[in-house]
Structure 1
Amino acid sequence: MNNINPITKLDYPDPEVIRVGDTYYMVSTTMYFMPGCEILRSYDLVNWEHAAYVYDTLDGTAAQRLEGKENIYGCGMWAASLRFYKGVYYICFVANDMHKTYIYQAKDIYGPWEKYTLEGFYHDNSILFDDDGKIYIVYGNTDIYLKELKFDESMHLTDVGTDPEKLILSDKNEVYLGYEGSHFYKINGKYYIFLIHMPKSIGRRTEAVFVADKPEGPYYGKDVMDDDRGYRNSGIAQGGIVDTPSGKWYGILFQDSGAVGRIPCLMPVSWGKIATAEGKEACFPVFGADGKIPEEFEIEDLKPGYEYAPLVSSDDFKTDFSGAISSSFGFKPCWQFNHEPNLSLVKRDLKKGTVTITTDKISSNLVQAKNTLTQRTLFPGCEAVVTVDASGIKDGDYAGLCLLESNYGFIAVTKRDSSYYLVMGKRELETKDIWGERCDDEPFEEVECIPLDSPGVTLYAGVCFDSVTVQRSEHSSLIPNADDTVSFFYVTESEHPEQVKKLGSDHKLEFKLDHFTGARFGLFIYSTKEIGGNANFSEFTYSN
């Protein structure tokens, strides 16, 4: 089978995959986007579709609601552990803005999900329900710890309250990133811990596995995956393994892929032998072909002919999804809001197919804008088109289409001295390292501004993440020729739809840890002078 990897071509980092019967479920990090903790569904491990969101909102803090200049960029929900035990699904993750550990549990993957917190902060944790009735959680960074959990009288997971945490592994190498991203399993009587790290000697992420006869160790192991698939010296690591009904094993780990984000990759896993320090042998996973992902390998399709719903999608905004098992506040599930939305400021006209967003605060820039409606961008390139009616904006407002990240770019209608203009704006971070700059307050850099005869305009954004592999339509010139680059275009109401013109210049996108997510298309409005302005969005088209 050709062209398996990457499997979603979208930003789904820190994957955790389980199988229940003939269905695979994958959960990944959703950070500050809401609804959050998205679960995907598959029957072949290659093709995935949306199954559920675990929560609509998390704690409703001022920062989670983007009140004032507060935000949780780079924080929120991280690296969940997903388990199915005795008819109940359990999801455990930390939120770094709250420094809490959350557990959600449900009898159905589609919910309803019951929420509670676990005492303590268990970074990048993994839960194991042992076959002797004991429950363990493994967690940490550089130093990896084991702690025992139990059920309380309400059948919630809780600390046993007596045994202290036990240090079971420590990364003693010279590393840029110490061991983390734990995935803990018991397979054929042995205990396995899968971890990500970045040795300085290699200079990219690698995946390590350790095995022991008992949960507390001692553990013996090594690196099992050191491969970048020939892409940017970007290692593939962090994730776990899952078996098929016939007994085959596969691993799903993510790869840092530039501005598009972190994308999962699939690989076959076989079993070999490893010699322990005690001179014994233990079964040990072999990823791909000796740590390299083969370009071609067989998969097991548990539902041949099944048609998967796309993870990103066009939208005419004429359908209310509120009655669906899992939607995004009544929108298609491919949409997520940047932070917790204030739905009183978001109105829909299903007959006309419009979404109207109103402002209720003064913002210095795009990243402070409430109710930005987003979709992930697609590797290796993609385009988005949306029609904007900005007749309701006030002086100083900006309403349009953006590529949301810390190094953002956008095209937007604005109003100045009661006249309408179209602006291409961008933000370029001064820092050139991966960390970025959080909680910034500066306005954007205006690249080009032109007058508009009317406030109605159709806006376009074309993005290229890999100029070598992007497929270009003979009818499209929107996608740039440079990696991690976005270009913006427009057509006014009075012009023919084919009279698409470029505004501004190509803008370089960059993945930074201050946001920690891939660039997303966003429909937005924000006010710089007076609140209460609004904009209508309609006819959103997504293509690649």
Structure 2
Amino acid sequence: MNIKKTTTLETTESQVMKTASSYIIPADFPDPDIIRVDDTYYMVSTTMHYMPGCVILRSYNLVDWEHAAYVFDELEPTPGQTLKDNKGVYGKGMWAACLRYHNGKFYITFVANDTHKTYLYTADKIEGPWHKSEISGFYHDMSLLFDEDGKIYCVSGNMNINLTEMKEDLSGPKIGGINKTIIRDNPENVILGYEGSHIYKINGKYYIFFIHMPKGKMRTEACFVSDKIEGPYTGKDVLCSDLADWNSGVAQGGIVQANNGNWYGILFQDHGALGRIPVLVPVKFVDDFPVFGAAGFAPRQINVPDNRPDYEYKELYSNDFTNPAWQWNHIPNKELVNVVPSVFSVKTDKTCINVTKAANTLTQRTFTENCYGNVTLDAAKLNDGDIAGLCALEGEYGFIGITKKEGKLKLIVAEHKIPYTPWSMGVYDDEEPVITTEKDLDSSEITLKATFCLEHTKENVQFSYYDKDTQNYVDFGEPVKLRYTLDQFVGVRFALFCYSTKKAGGSAIFKDFEIGIL
């Protein structure tokens, strides 16, 4: 399947319409929530343990997106979030943020599953500065509603969905306010109960959207509606649809009304190692109830109004190390790194056993099912036992790099696998990666390449190096199989790393990164 975007423009009497693939961003941007302010759409997405975090994207047509802001540079400098504990907060960090705009101010709320706190960030402009505070309590997959009467409500939970009336300053639940379970899923009939709440008030009615996974079905979008905030709510499943034969439901996300009055949902679909990618779905209200897609299925193409058809968007991937496309794996120690547009250097200050324990690793999402990245590595200052290189980073990872053994530099490919379980939950990264291919080097500088094939049933990465004699890239080792697992809960990324296994203080320099879409 090819998920590169193809678009056409059609001019109507009132505005320009755009026809595009419903796969609006072929990269790992899960748990979307979306709003429109005037002619501009903003979408927030989960960034887990990556820093800076809580990414916000901007669009004028719901199809083309560019970076708008990160909400925070770092969340909490705990031993886990800084990787000082040699464990990290994989599979945790910030999840499923809610984005709202009310009375001239932007609001972001989310929980972090390592600190067990609920965070509130506010800003007058989407670019920030964002001001941080905390909300008393823990609200899983929360969603906010600012009602017309001045009251503020939060829906949250898993299996049992709770409604909580909040204080005016959002510091916690309102004393004496509504605090009740309003919707329950049936634990005997589902693998995953209702979660991923999104609440709206539309034409005087209250709508709450969820995802769940009934037994025998894929991830499914559901909606419940009530005339009153406290209920009773009635509802049903509204979308159980695969796309491109992934056997993975398009579900969980927000809805938004375009300038022309039409409604759209941005949900996501699991795409294996590539991650969870946003999908645009038309929404219609029939008898005051939402109908997603066409005849109950998510379409492959969609028509949307384009508010700024001549606008040129900045790509969501970049060769520039200072571009916001790059994020740190956990909070970095900036005294040990130096980053300029074409050069990234890193020094170690601890010993560890593998890539997931390595601090100050710089990462970028893979983009589309077929892409590559190459970078030149200078390993002249590695110590014995050090390893530096280019990694295809997720729960199950592989890398090509250079290690130093008994004073000699060696080019290696290594893999790390996870014992298979149906969901591959838990952390299985307390072992050294297995070196599968190795050769001596006569130079400390070499250009490394990772070529990804993330098509369904394939999902692998082929590592190679540039041979100066033949002036071609030479495959090194067999393709490394990739698989999305829930220990990290993110799609595979390019990652530039350096770590020491024996003695801290070694360093590496990465130059001239290039990402390409095949």
Q: Which is worse superposed, 94-103 or 431-440?
A: 431-440
Q: Which residue of 1 aligns with 2:491?
A: 518
Q: Which residue of 1 aligns with 2:196?
A: 181
For structure 1, which runs of at least 5 residues remain unmatched after alignment?
274-282, 318-330, 468-481
| In structure 1, C-alpha distance between the alignment counterparts of 2:366 and 2:161, rounded to whole Å | 34
| In structure 1, C-alpha distance between the alignment counterparts of 2:290 and 2:154, rounded to whole Å | 21
5 Å matches for 1:444-523?
444-466=433-455, 483-492=458-467, 494-496=468-470, 498-523=471-496
5 Å matches for 1:129-208?
129-152=146-169, 156-163=170-177, 165-172=179-186, 174-202=189-217, 204-208=218-222
5 Å matches for 1:124-523?
124-152=141-169, 156-163=170-177, 165-172=179-186, 174-202=189-217, 204-273=218-287, 283-315=288-320, 317=321, 331-348=322-339, 353-438=342-427, 440-466=429-455, 483-492=458-467, 494-496=468-470, 498-523=471-496
Please tell me whether the aligned partners of residues 70 and 439 of structure 1 are also in contact (alpha carbons under 8 angstroms).
Answer: no
1:380-407 CA-to-partner distances (Å, cap 9, x unmatched) read 1110000000001111111110011110
Q: Which residue of 2 aligns with 1:320?
A: none
AA partner of residue 119 (structure 2) = Y
Q: Which is worse superposed, 162-171 or 457-466?
A: 162-171
Question: Aligned residues, how many?
Answer: 499
| In structure 2, C-alpha distance between the alignment counterparts of 1:272 and 1:392, rounded to whole Å | 66
- Runs (4+) of structure 1 exceeding 4 A deviation are none
Higher strand share: 2
**CA offset at residue 439 of structure 1?**
5.6
Q: Which is worse superposed, 160-169 or 419-428?
A: 160-169
**CA offset at residue 157 of structure 1?**
4.2
Please tell me whether the aligned partners of residues 418 and 424 of structure 2 are also in contact (alpha carbons under 8 angstroms).
Answer: no
AA partner of residue 246 (structure 1) = N
1:353-375 CA-to-partner distances (Å, cap 9, x unmatched) read 42110001101111001111000
Q: Which residue of 1 aligns with 2:4?
A: none
1:505-527 CA-to-partner distances (Å, cap 9, x unmatched) read 11111111110000100011011
Structure 1 residue corresponding to 2:504, chosen from 531, 534, 537:
531
For structure 2, which runs of at least 5 residues remain unmatched after alignment?
1-7, 9-18
- SS at 1:59's partner residue? coil
| In structure 1, C-alpha distance between the alignment counterparts of 2:429 and 2:415, rounded to whole Å | 14
Please tell me whether the aligned partners of residues 174 and 201 of structure 1 are also in contact (alpha carbons under 8 angstroms).
Answer: no
| In structure 2, C-alpha distance between the alignment counterparts of 1:161 and 1:440, rounded to whole Å | 45
1:460-503 CA-to-partner distances (Å, cap 9, x unmatched) read 00011116xxxxxxxxxxxxxx62101100025x535x321111
Please tell me whether the aligned partners of residues 224 and 290 of structure 1 are also in contact (alpha carbons under 8 angstroms).
Answer: no
Distance 1:5 1:297, change over 3 A: closer
Distance 1:349 1:373, change over 3 A: closer
CA RMSD of aligned residues (A): 1.4
Please tell me whether the aligned partners of residues 434 and 511 of structure 1 are also in contact (alpha carbons under 8 angstroms).
Answer: no
1:102-158 CA-to-partner distances (Å, cap 9, x unmatched) read 000011111111101100000000000001111000000000000001224xxx543
AA partner of residue 490 (structure 1) = Y
Give identity over the alignment, percent. 51
AA partner of residue 341 (structure 1) = P
| In structure 2, C-alpha distance between the alignment counterparts of 1:35 and 1:161, rounded to whole Å | 35
Q: Which residue of 2 aligns with 1:9?
A: 26
| In structure 1, C-alpha distance between the alignment counterparts of 2:244 and 2:191, rounded to whole Å | 21
Q: Which residue of 2 aligns with 1:324?
A: none
| In structure 2, C-alpha distance between the alignment counterparts of 1:194 and 1:349, rounded to whole Å | 43
Q: Which residue of 2 aligns with 1:477?
A: none
Q: Which residue of 1 aligns with 2:16?
A: none
1:436-460 CA-to-partner distances (Å, cap 9, x unmatched) read 4416311001100100001100000
| In structure 1, C-alpha distance between the alignment counterparts of 2:507 and 2:300, rounded to whole Å | 49
Please tell me whether the aligned partners of residues 406 and 436 of structure 1 are also in contact (alpha carbons under 8 angstroms).
Answer: no
| TM-score w.r.t. length of structure 2 | 0.94
